Amino acid sequence: MSNQVSEGSPPPLKIKGRMEIEYTWSLGRLGTRFFEAIRTERRLLGIRCPSCRGVLVPPLPTCGRCFAPMSEWVDLPDTGMATSIVPYLLEYPGQALKPPIIFAKIRLDGADSSFTHILGDIPPGPLPQTLRVRARWRAERIGSIEDIVCFVPGSTC
């Protein structure tokens, strides 16, 4: 039996429902310090491995390269390099942002790891493979990665 929908087949069944789940997610010691610095000081922190000296953002308790416990906090600028730049064009109900949305891996200056975030102020046309970016901060911060609205091209915002 094929899973393909053939012409003339009835449309797939749909079930409407609503689910609301309230939960609390503990950020732990490292996550709390990382997001508190974002919220209260508009500052980005990395954590340096005492063995290989790599700097991870966001912070992790153990180095992924050499498995050493991490403990040395490092101030990082809100500038860096965007790579793996990808547009997201599909729209679905309840979506927080309307397409097109451009995602990228952001490696902050001085960091050895990257995280995924949104790019803003990208002109229409072909996307670059890499791009110098700076964070655009939310005016009122709550201690979330969303306190960075997006990363925009250039070194000023």
> pLDDT at position 93, please?
87
> pLDDT at position 148, please?
97
> pLDDT at position 11, please?
84
Q: What is the pTM of this model?
A: 0.81
Q: Which residues in the chain come in under a pLDDT of 50?
A: 1, 157
> pLDDT at position 157, please?
45
> pLDDT at position 96, please?
87
Nearest to 132 by CA among 149, 107, 102: 107
- How distant, in Å, are the alpha carbons of 3, 16, 91, 95 from that of 13? 14, 10, 21, 22
CA–CA distance, 45 with 37 (Å, rounded to integer): 7
CA–CA distance, 87 with 154 (Å, rounded to integer): 19
> pLDDT at position 2, please?
54
